[in-house]
Structure 1
Amino acid sequence: MAGKLQSSSHPPSKAKAKAVAKAKAVAKAKAIAPDVPARIGQTPETDLRGLPDVFGRLVEDHDRHRALLAMIEATDGPSDERHALFEELVRELKSHAAAEEQALWSTVLRNPQTTEFARHAVAEHKDIDKMLDDLAARDMGKPKWMERFADLKEEYLHHIREEEQEQFTESAAILSDADRRHMRSVFERRKKEEKASAALTPKLKIKSIA
């Protein structure tokens, strides 16, 4: 009986750590615009959420970004809330991508087993960056802005789902626990530095005509 209770008591603690990490991430997004709902719904399941290493930290950021995307979608017109949330999203995504590349992908790129995963992730960072710049150059009060924002949201959610389900798990297999803990400290430092200098850089995509 005792053994049965012990085995059934372990999963909830892991589930609790995941829930706490997710709630913490959403709360950070909500702090930008407390009155805007953050309905992120179900997120892809991952055992990396809540871990005290670089992957747990990256997934925490992803959940924060999911909340920001949902909140922007819930705003109406060129409101102060939409402006504030979009500016925060831009600063978050740009600084997160730069710090992730420096803390994780710079190492993973050097391993033949994971080189392609790293290259793919970095290439998508550049595409998302261009979409952010394009949105920053447009009038967010127009319906077309929300259409382009929906494209960004779809692209980014696909990107982080791919990272969590494939690229991170493959990368985790070649890294030691010490590597992963060290990468978290590098990520924390670089993210703070990158976010301090991140800014909106309005630039229309050349192929855009409207």
Structure 2
Amino acid sequence: MTARTIDRDTAKRKPAAKAKVGAIAKAKAVAPGVAARIGSTPKTKFRGDPDIFGRLVEDHDRHRALLAMIEETEGKSPNRQTLFKELVKELKAHAAAEEQALWSSVLRDPETTDFARHAIAEHKEIDDMLGDLAARDMASPGWLRRFAALKEEYLHHVGEEEQEQFVAAEAHLSATDVRYMRRVFNRRKKEEKAVAKVERKIKLKP
């Protein structure tokens, strides 16, 4: 490998690293005194890209940080309450905007319909888990166990999106499509977050 090749690889990594750092900083701004130990993340070619997929991964990293920060809190502390409220509003707004900007179009292509349906179904499952957590006592031993299950489900969901579903969708979209979708996502995310609420609903076992 030549020095020029190494320089090119380093240059390609810089936008990705910058995007990840920026996303974590947005989460940290919610509770500056809480550590955001996000750790390593699954490899994805989209982090730092100036399109819809890069924008979605940016949110995923922000959410990874919020999840890690909540694990650093205790009981009904103000930080846990603030961070959980922010997580709920973020995940609700992100899912709604993602469905409107990306998956609504991808659903219309028979070759990618299944990916879109799977992603949307997992959005509903995550939303149900958030409602269940909101309805329970944050200071109880069971709350963190349920929160751990939510975190596992969410990380599985975004891992699939970043490594499989976005790759499949990208193959059927033009460069114009993905740039336009980013603008739609940004607009809809802002609007959805402004009206998002923490809804409390115990999740009944099937």
TM-score (norm 1): 0.96
Instruction: For residue 6 of structure 1, report the CA deviation from its aligned partner.
Output: 3.2
C-alpha distance after superposition, 1:69-107 (max 9, x if no partner): 000011111100000000000000000000000000000
For residue 68 of structure 2, what is the aligned residue in structure 1? 70
Equivalenced residues, count: 206
What's 2:8 paired with?
Answer: 10
Task: Work out the percentage of aligned pairs sharing the same amino acid.
Answer: 65
What corresponds to 2:136 in structure 1? 138
Residue 95 of structure 2 corresponds to 97
Q: Which residue identity lines up with residue 77 of structure 2 in the other structure?
A: S
- In structure 1, what is the Cα distance between the partners aligned to 2:186 and 2:4? 35
Say which of 107, 110, 129 aligns to 2:108: 110
Q: Where does the alignment leave 5 or more consecutive residues of structure 1 unmatched?
A: none
Q: Deviations over 1:110-137 (max 9, x none)?
A: 0011000000000000000000001011
Match for 1:87 among 85, 88, 96? 85
Q: 1:58 aligns with which of 56, 59, 80?
A: 56
Equivalent AA in structure 1 for residue 188 of structure 2: R
Corresponding residue to 1:154 among 152, 164, 181: 152
> Residue type of the partner of 2:87?
L
- 1:138 and 1:43 map into 2 onto residues whose CA distance is 30
Determine the structure 1 residue equivalent to 2:123: 125
**1:170 Cα deviation from its structure 2 partner:** 0.6
Distance in 2, matches of 1:125 and 1:196, equals 19
Match of 1:45 in 2: 43
**Residue type at the aligned position of 1:207:** K
Q: Report which stretch shifted further, 7-16 or 34-43.
A: 7-16
CA drift of 1:4 comes to 4.0
Structure 2: 5+ residue stretches without partners: none
Q: For residue 37 of structure 1, what is the amino acid of its counterpart?
A: A
Report the equivalent of 1:197. 195
Per-residue deviation at 1:206? 2.1
Letter in 1 for 2:171: A
Q: Compare 143-152 and 4-13 and name the one that shifted more.
A: 4-13
Equivalent-residue separation in structure 2 for 1:34 and 1:12 (angstroms)? 30
Q: How far apart in 2 are the matches of 1:79 and 1:101?
A: 33
